[in-house]
Amino acid sequence: MNSANLQLEGLYLAIAAIHETLIAKGIMSRQEVDDAMRAAEDTALTDYRSMENLRPAERDALAFPARLLRMANATVADGKALSFTALARRVGSGKDFGRDQA
């Protein structure tokens, strides 16, 4: 596996841990974290270069980090901390295929 991919996986897990710390300390609510990640995903999908110059699979890749972090936030809320692989599978199986393919 490409070491850059492993670095990104580690980064996503680190950001998810930061989210949990912010929630545990009462700095942000779980809903505020979800709203922030939804806004990041929306920005990624509506950015002018995303719509004009990227294929749908590339737009999905651009939105993947926010989607994964939203999924991590939701699963921890349900009392289940999932691995990166499990989160990525859930993101892949639960994505809205029509949303970013305008």
- Give ∠ CA 30-8-67 in degrees, rounded to 5: 40
Six token digits for residue 98:
């029509």
CA–CA separation, 3 and 40 (whole Å): 25
State percent of the chain over pLDDT 70: 87
- This prediction has a pTM of 0.78
59 C-beta neighbours (distance < 10 Å), count:
22
pLDDT tens across 35-72, in order? Answer: 999 999 998 888 766 567 788 888 888 889 999 999 99
Length of the chain: 102
Answer yes or no: are the C-beta atoms of 73 and 34 closer than 8 Å.
Answer: yes
Q: Which of the four pLDDT bands, split at 50, 70 and 90, describes residue 17? A: very high
